[in-house]
Chains A and B, each alone.
Chain A
Amino acid sequence: MVVFGPFLCDHSNMRRTALIVDDHAAFRASARTLLQDEGFQVVGEAEDGQSGLELARALDPDLVLLDVALPDLSGLEVATQLAGSRSKVVLVSSRRPDDFGARFRATPALGFISKDELSGAMLVQLLEESS
């Protein structure tokens, strides 16, 4: 059924939906602006892993912008649990990938963007590479 995924997402009448999961309010606000500027409709925000998972399952967004270090579950764990879903997961963190060790290399997420480098262009590039 992979055939329909990109097809539905690229439908011209539909804005792509996004969910932001991050425990820092300031970052969520900045990311919301950035995503909206890129044409995403931000359908939800969550500040911990558990509520992020629940929202992702309920809203079925096209994109989940997911912080690695969350207060309860790790972002890597949330990404693993979302592996079978339609949502594409992009991990973000203010830390470097090598700060997370081997677990990071095994993540089913689409990719990783360092928070200070996060831009609409980088996101679009990642999403396009995957489709």
Chain B
Amino acid sequence: MKTLRLALLAAGLALGVIAYRVQIHNLGPYTSPARSWAIVIGAWLFLVAGLVAWSRRPSNRLGPLMTAAGIALLLRQLRYSHDAFLFTVFFVVGELSYWIVAHAVFAYPSGRITDRLERALIKVGYTVTFLFTIAILLLYDGSRPLRFFDPTPRDSLISVGGSGNAAITVQKAFVIVVWGVLAVAAIVLLVRKLVLATPRARRILAPLLLAAITVGLRAVFESVFTFAERPSAILYEYLFWWQIAAFIALPLALLAGLLRARLARAGVGDLVLELERTPPQGIRDALSRALDDPTLEVLFWLPERNGFGDAAGRSAELPTDSNRTVTRLQHEGEPLAALVHDPSLLEEPKLVSAAGAAASLALENARLHAETRAQLEQVRESRVRIVETADEERRRIERDIHDGAQQRLVALAVQLRSAQRRLRDPEIDSLLAATVKELQVAVEELRELARGVHPAILTEDGLAAALESLVSRIPFPVDLDAPEGRLPAQVEATAYFVACEALANVVKHARASTATVRAVRRNGLLVVEVEDDGIGGAVAENGSGLRGLADRVEALGGRFRVESPAEGGTRIVGEIPCAS
């Protein structure tokens, strides 16, 4: 294959020199060395770009197509020969060469035209051009120049003679149909391709397609002149260089595209180095840069969930719409991650798989991170559930005490008083009075117990009312500031128990004369502070009460701290997230 390509390169270079000489010798004053070389150089660039593409991606048909376009463009110039055979053959080949170029443009970058309309246009272009050129050659009698193709008369090997008018009519029709209608169709399809492309694909396609549109516009311009006077010599000169510039831009745009892919693969090399010092959360950005796809998303396989999740461990679904493409990556036979990317990356599957392979260790590391985050998230959710369940259980116990034993004892006390009133026996009276007294003590104890388990006022009237009720039972003045309105039940309960436990500690240990209870909503948090002017020295780790409070607050994603210097005064702060 390499030999073939080298042979084609050598043949193309030689052919270029021959094409140059054919033009200079046969077109006389209608050309110049600069114009002749410009045409040859344009064709050589196609050839070289084609051979480079061919050697870099042997399985892609784009390389051979571009090479063929380069060779055909060079051969095209041989039709200016006065030799009838060369003129006849290369007149046809020359006109077909433009369609090889169009074929390559539409096939870029995969080498295949997948769109039905585009494929139809290229087929029609080849067929119509071939038939028209054969018809022109059949009708052309060589008595005068071919109006739109050549300034001097040539000999057609297959001429059947006939009137010159018929040949002129067919030429006109050819210029209108092929250079006009089909060129406009090609421009429309190129614009459509640009519009429909994803942002990433558009960046890759734009230079080539814009150059191709410029070439197409030049053909349309030529077609329009079929109906008008030929333009002035100076305008014609501009038009010629316009065409040459666009023709040179085409292979350069293609080469640039190839170079870009090469740079991207070099980027994969950099990726390996970069990932060595990238923390797990930076992997997406590194991959996004290496693949030149800002929309890239990385999802990790979470075996426990039997599904994918994001870097934070949250479950995520793979997209199903056609605007996104998913490439699944594996590591040692196990699912690893999914890259959700721009569909245009499918045209560079090696790039994606190379980047995936380069990143696989880092991705595995990040996947484990995501898995840990997912497990942490589960633990966090389960802690919240435990707190909620415990609260619910406490509420139930409080209700059971209140509605059960307490009610029975109360009813009993009332009944005993009725009995006491009816009997009016001094001995039994004092006995019943003592019994009622005992019952009242039992009821009071139950009441305290129920209140400690879960105060009903908290459930019924909320935090402010519960705190007010709480501080009213403290034996020294307590300053209270609590928010009106309801908060989520577990937030209210946690805040209440922080205040309750802290005040109980103040009463038992602090030897304080005053205290302050403050509950304030701030930045999505409910901040509960209990401050006293006592002896200080409280430590969260020592008392299981404070430790339990810390656990409770942290279970809800909050923070708990005890500031209790030895010189006196204690401040207990619970910060509880409350979304509403």
Enumerate chain A interface residues (CB-CB to B < 8 A).
Answer: 24, 26-27, 29-31, 33-34, 37, 69, 74, 94-96, 98-103, 115-120
Contacts and interface: CB of A to CB of B under 8 A. Distances in A.
Contact of A102 (B408, B414, B451, B465): B465
A27 B414 contact: yes
B443 A94 contact: yes
A117 B441 CA distance: 11
Contacts of B439: 116
Contacts of A115: 410, 413-414, 443
B410 A94 contact: yes
- Tell me the interface secondary structure of chain B in the complex: helix
Interface string B350-364: 000000000000000
Task: Give the bracket for the number of chain B residues in contact with chain A.
Answer: 20 to 34
A98 B447 CA distance: 12
Nearest to B416: A30
B407 A34 contact: no
A99 B455 contact: yes
Contacts of B411: 24, 26-27, 29-30
A116 B466 contact: no
B523 interface: no
Interface of B: 402-403, 406-415, 417-418, 421-422, 439-440, 443-444, 447, 451, 455-457, 460-461, 464-466, 468-469, 472-473
A103 B461 contact: yes
Contact of B407 (A24, A100, A120): A24
Contact of A117 (B408, B440, B451): B440
A33 B415 contact: yes
Q: Which of B413, B418, B472 has the most CB of A within 10 A?
A: B418
A109 to B, nearest CB: 17
B417 A34 contact: yes
B464 to A, nearest CB: 8
Given A26-B411, A94-B407, 18 more contacts: A24-B403, A24-B407, A33-B414, A33-B415, A33-B418, A34-B414, A37-B422, A69-B460, A94-B406, A95-B447, A95-B456, A96-B447, A99-B469, A102-B465, A102-B468, A103-B465, A118-B413, A120-B421
Q: Which of A31, A94, A100, A115 has the most CB of B within 10 A?
A: A94
Nearest to B444: A116
Contacts of B466: 101
